[in-house]
A and B are shown apart, each in its own frame.
Chain A
């Protein structure tokens, strides 16, 4: 891979990140759609931007699956899902019981 190709990856990543950021910020003030729809789109933009940063800035993709760091990411994502999901479940359940 040469300089031009790697530079293009950063530029593509930057343009995609700027677009997703722009959509998310615009939807916050653009109130012609119901709040629920905008809520979902803004979260979707964040997740897409996470993937864009992983792909274009950290150079991590799913094609080279022999790399240990990919397994580490998946394991960490699993741990995070367990801890965050479990915590939100327990605390919101308690909140509901306190009402």
Chain B
């Protein structure tokens, strides 16, 4: 460490701005913590949807089960796209912290948005394929719980994409001020949280279903 100033403590989850913008760093503590409380309640929601899915996974009512319906390749593509979008959001956070450059930040966010929207596109094509095979939500308890779980995550990613779009507009209107920065901090932990939920969806729904 060549840095002579005392390091600022980490105050909240996600990217901390202490080293480059102490004022926003202080202001963000309560806001990010409050958002983290919401995310944990969201985690409870997802955990219970997973529990419902586990109790329903064999209730196929004579219809097709996980092994007949799911495929490894589209799941792998969706996983890699979402993981890449988590990484590009990390790059956006680094640009916000160290470069404070609006256009570069917007490019990183647009990259994340493109990956997020392609993830949604792959999922829509998955759902469409299932529907063509006759695997609709009302067919069995298994399919009902599958659609509830996966489309809840889908709606979260969709709201994340809308949020990115709103932040892109706010960045060009307001520039990189304190409010925009704290909003981007919260968007960042939201986006990384969605990728964590997806780890459990591809593991418990797709991989263990195909095993």
**A-to-B contact residues, CB < 8 Å:** 1-3, 6-7, 10, 13-14, 17-18, 21, 24-25, 28-29, 35, 38-39, 42-43, 45-46, 49-50, 53-54, 57-60, 64, 66-69, 72-73, 75-76, 79-80, 83-84, 87-88, 91-92, 95
Instruction: Compute how far the CA of A14 lies from the CA of B94 in the bound complex, rounded to whole angstroms.
Output: 15
Q: CB distance B203 to A83 under 8 Å? A: no
Interface size on B, residues (CB 8 A): 51
Among residues 181 to 211 in chain B, which have CB atoms less than 8 Å away from a CB atom of chain A? 189, 192-193, 195-196, 199-200, 202-204, 207-208, 210-211
- 17 CB contacts below 8 A, A to B, read A1-B19, A3-B98, A21-B202, A24-B203, A25-B72, A25-B75, A43-B208, A49-B199, A53-B199, A57-B192, A59-B14, A67-B12, A68-B33, A69-B33, A72-B37, A72-B40, A91-B55
Find chain B residues with CB under 8 A from A76 CB: 40-41, 43-44
Q: CB distance B36 to A69 under 8 Å? A: yes
Find chain A residues with CB under 8 A from B94 CB: 3, 6-7, 10
Asked whether B178 is an interface residue with its Cβ less than 8 Å from the other chain, the reply is no
**B-to-A contact residues, CB < 8 Å:** 7, 9-16, 19, 33, 36-37, 40-41, 43-44, 47-48, 50-52, 54-55, 72, 75-76, 79-80, 83, 86-87, 90-91, 94, 97-98, 189, 192-193, 195-196, 199-200, 202-204, 207-208, 210-211
* Main SS at interface, chain A: helix
Least Cβ–Cβ distance between A63 and chain B, in angstroms = 10
Interface contacts (Cβ under 8 Å), in number, total 121
Instruction: Compute how far the CA of A10 lies from the CA of B83 in the bound complex, rounded to whole angstroms.
Output: 12
